[in-house]
Amino acid sequence: MRHIAQRDLRNVQRVLIQLAEARCLSLNIIWKGNQYTNSSERRGQVPQIIVNHISVGSMASLDAWFTSPNNKVSSAHFGVSKHGDIHQYVKLERMAWTQGISADRIAKAPAAIVREKGINPNLYGVSIEHEGYDGNLSEEQFEASLWLHRYIRDYVKQEWGYVIPFNREHILGHFQIDPVRKSSCPGPKFPWIRLYAMLAKPSWEEQQMEQLRLELQATKAVVADLEARLAVMERDHHLSEVPDWAKASVNKAVQQGLIRTPTPSSHDFFRILTVLDRKGLL
């Protein structure tokens, strides 16, 4: 039994190590924002949507524009390069200037959540710019963007207690907010089907956490079984009353002065007295 428990605990330890290693291998977010990067207060709004964009340019031009003193009109929370690098320009606690629209166009937005909330989408949105022109993401870029979506969800959950649903109503493209000025953003080749499919699946870390949960549950069952067996053993070795089948033999031993107080004693002790009595030794 002890061997089984040790084996299960080793399995749990192995999963914990793998999970720690996975977190160490997580992508790094490089801070690029500066004093010129545009942003505003969220005015008490919680981030509820993630909006995908295309930069229509290089990552270098994106970095330069979002940190330029001449830029008085736009910004984004994140940018993802073709190589899979992630740059951050605005803290999630603040509103980036990415997908704002005029009040008269809010009611005409294709995205239901934009129409329902009726306020500037920047207030409750998180924006991701993707380096490129048509939305055709490189494999490294797609994997980084997928990781970033999950990072944003986890960050918002931790800071605001709200979980952004990974569905078509909350993972949007700029065209779903502003179909007039941004009718093709984030590009005709943006991998929407694959993105939604992958977001619907648990991440590697989530799979490992589930495995860890199951292994912990199994280990708890083993420990509970061991504790139950130990309790039986302790009970057998600390009987507070003489078993009926041993009373005659115990009485003989007391009468002969071999023992003074028969309890508490173990099950084995009473068995020995019974055997001695049957052998005519008492």
- Render pLDDT for 167-176 as a digit per residue (tens, 0 to 9): 999 999 999 9
Q: Tell me which residue range forms the domain holding 87.
A: 32-194
Angstrom distance (rounded) from CA 223 to CA 245: 33
Higher pLDDT residue, 136 or 281? 136
Structure confidence at residue 228 (pLDDT): 78
Residue 109 has pLDDT above 60, yes or no: yes
Structure confidence at residue 11 (pLDDT): 59
Angle at 152 between CA 206 and CA 138, to 5 degrees: 85
Q: Tell me the mean pLDDT in the region 260-277.
A: 80
Residue 22 has pLDDT above 60, yes or no: no
For residues 246 and 230, state if they share a domain.
Answer: no
Confidence of residue 234 (pLDDT cuts 50, 70, 90): low
Confidence of residue 249 (pLDDT cuts 50, 70, 90): confident
For residues 224 and 150, state if they share a domain.
Answer: no
Per the structure, how many domains does the chain have? 3
Residue 279 has pLDDT above 90, yes or no: no
For residues 80 and 180, state if they share a domain.
Answer: yes
pTM: 0.68
For residues 146 and 99, state if they share a domain.
Answer: yes
For residues 91 and 179, state if they share a domain.
Answer: yes
Residue 96 has pLDDT above 80, yes or no: yes
What kind and span of H or E run contains 174? none
Confidence of residue 225 (pLDDT cuts 50, 70, 90): confident
Q: Tell me the mean pLDDT in the region 64-69.
A: 98
What residues have CB less than 8 Å from 3, skipping those under 6 apart?
none
For residues 179 and 209, state if they share a domain.
Answer: no
For residues 89 and 180, state if they share a domain.
Answer: yes
Higher pLDDT residue, 45 or 20? 45
Higher pLDDT residue, 37 or 254? 37
Mean per-residue pLDDT over the chain, rounded: 87
For residues 154 and 123, state if they share a domain.
Answer: yes
Residue 265 has pLDDT above 90, yes or no: no
Q: Residue 33: what residue type?
A: G
For residues 178 and 279, state if they share a domain.
Answer: no
Residue 34 has pLDDT above 70, yes or no: yes
- Where b means 16+ CB within 10 Å and e means fewer, 64-83 reads ebbbeeeeeebbbbbbbbbe
Angstrom distance (rounded) from CA 206 to CA 212: 10
For residues 210 and 248, state if they share a domain.
Answer: no
